[in-house]
Amino acid sequence: MNWDWLLLPTIGAGRMSHPGLPPGWVMLVLAAMSCMVAWAIWIPVRAGHPHSSRSLVHLPVIGPAVRKMLSLPWLVLALRIAVAAIFLLTIYAGLFGTPLPERNLATMLTWTLWWSGLIGAIFFVGSAWCAICPWNALATWLVRRRLWRRGSETSSLGLRVPKVLRSVWPALILFVGLSWFELGYGVTVSPYATALLALLLVVLATISLAVFERRAFCRYFCPVGRTIGFYAELSPVALRPVDPDVCARCTTLECYHGTAEVEPCPTHQVMGSMKQNTYCISCDACSRSCPHQNVAWRLRSVGQEIIQAAHPRWDEAWFILGLLALTSFHGTTMLPVWEHWMSVLAQRIGDSGQLLWSFSITMGVSLLVPVALFALLALLTQRLMAKQPEYRRVFSALALATLPLAFVYHLSHNLSHLVRESRGMTEVMLNPLGINAQPLTCNQAEARHMLTALQQDTIFALQAGLLLFGFWMAVRILRHRVTSIAPQGQAAAGWHILPMLSFIVAITLYNLWLLMQPMTMRM
């Protein structure tokens, strides 16, 4: 079969590109998707027993080590100090180092290593990154003026966040704005702009901590933290009570209020009633303040939280859909023909310079189309039910089914950057400012392109496997979510899921098509 008609020409490609997914892997993905669609439609949802989970402290061999780690508060502090030091060095390198992105620590560490590796790490460690986040650490040290212990009540104005801002809408707006700035201005290939962006986030976190109570920036405003929080709902690990009965009997709630030495929960969570990872930032305040030592990591099945416990609000559903649209849009902008498309549009509308109008229009359309299609199909799903539930409930519940699609494409896209473009990281670490560094030669760029950290076939297998895993999880979540919103006594037949199943198939096919295309290297 000739697949060339599915591949875009590399018009005007000025940089090297990663090879796309070969036809053999594409056919395997399509065949597996077809089987999953048939299973989703014809096999009814079974009301099985709740999935079990187990605290890590109860596991043999590693259990004692986990409990020991939880009793060492200086361990998290040491990690925060180390990460903050690297972060400050990164900012310094971006401001005063070489402008060559492939030779500067700011761009190589931020976009090639950190952002690419972070998405994959979420699956294994949940929201652990937030515990050592340098933006929050620096803001805390500046405002609280304490390295570790609870700060003075007078160190912040402690105002309650206005009701209009007590949602994830601010984080979504900031996420879209930062994405526009990142892609429209080419921040990923500018060490100086990368450093300014990092400083901006520290400033926002510091102002928020100085004005509002607890860590409002982490809870409501941080786009990275909210992305981690939603992706962590898919993770098989979660910070939860060791014994739920101990929490049920607790009346002092130190996990929420804190102690004389330990800060209260920064995002207003009560450990005994917490069912979702969404707003937990793994800061270890609850584990340090709990007088019963009843907080530890738990293992559970993948996706268990979304299937059983998650109850997203309207604003959270919109953030998930925004995340879905933005991940696919990032991939679209890295097609070798992207610049050609922008040039053609710019000529049509009379745009010039950095083509920001052309970029903004394309970005707006790319975000609106999938969200509008989802909203329409959610409405159709509602209409298919004899006793129609509230539309907002249907919209919010079904949005969760799209979360695995965003996660796996985000991960498979970043995987290619990580294994191909991280070559040369050792040289950059030894010379973070890129002093006297020269641009990559053709041979060096070719070596970075070809001599990957993993074999080419391994990369393709991982990308295909990730896409299938995300599709399977999305279909599975969809079936359970449609069943949960169906009126009591009304069976959620296969045809009830057809509208949203078509959406999941369409998004997966588009992401599969993106993976088939050659992708421009960042640097």
Tell me the DSSP string of 454-468.
S-HHHHHHHHHHHHH
**Amino acid type, 15:** R
| SS3 category, 78 | helix
CA dist 2 → 5, 132, 464, 512 (Å): 7, 49, 20, 17
127 vs 131: CA distance, rounded Å: 8
395 vs 198: CA distance, rounded Å: 34
Structure tokens at 384: 């298919």
Q: Count Cβ atoms below 10 Å from residue 426 Cβ, excluding itself.
A: 9
Nearby residues of 105 by Cβ (< 8 Å), 6 or more positions away: 89, 90, 93, 94, 97, 191, 428, 429, 432, 433, 434
195 vs 182: CA distance, rounded Å: 12
Nearby residues of 74 by Cβ (< 8 Å), 6 or more positions away: none
In this prediction, residue 137 carries a pLDDT of 93
Structure tokens at 86: 């690297």
Q: Where are the domains of the chain?
A: 27-48+315-426+440-520, 237-299
In this prediction, residue 13 carries a pLDDT of 46
User: What is the CB-side half-sphere exposure of residue 182 using CA atoms within 13 A?
Assistant: 20
Nearby residues of 501 by Cβ (< 8 Å), 6 or more positions away: 37, 40, 41, 475, 478
Do 334 and 346 form a contact (C-beta atoms < 8 A)? no
307 DSSP 8-state letter? I
- What is the tens place of the pLDDT at every residue in 372-398? 999 999 999 988 877 778 899 999 999
Do 242 and 194 form a contact (C-beta atoms < 8 A)? no
Structure tokens at 396: 């919010």
- Residue 41 burial (C-beta neighbours within 10 Å; 0-12, 13-18, 19+): middle
Concatenating the DSSP letter of every residue in 207-250 gives HHHHHBSS-HIIIII-HHHHHHHHHGGG-SEEEEESSHHHHHH-
Beta bridge partners of 296: 240
| Polymer length in residues for the chain | 523
- What is the tens place of the pLDDT at every residue in 135-144? 999 999 999 8
Q: Hunting for tokens 């937030």 — which residue is that? A: 130
**Residue ranges, the chain, pLDDT below 70:** 1-16, 47-51, 444-453, 487-493, 522-523
**Dihedral sign computed on CA atoms, order 225, 229, 235, 238:** positive
- What is the tens place of the pLDDT at every residue in 118-136? 998 999 888 989 999 999 9
The answer to whether the predicted template modeling score (pTM) of the entire model surpasses 0.85 is yes
Question: Phi/psi of residue 29, each to 5°?
Answer: -65, -45
Helices 356-383 and 169-184 pack at an angle, to 10 degrees, of 140
175 vs 367: CA distance, rounded Å: 12
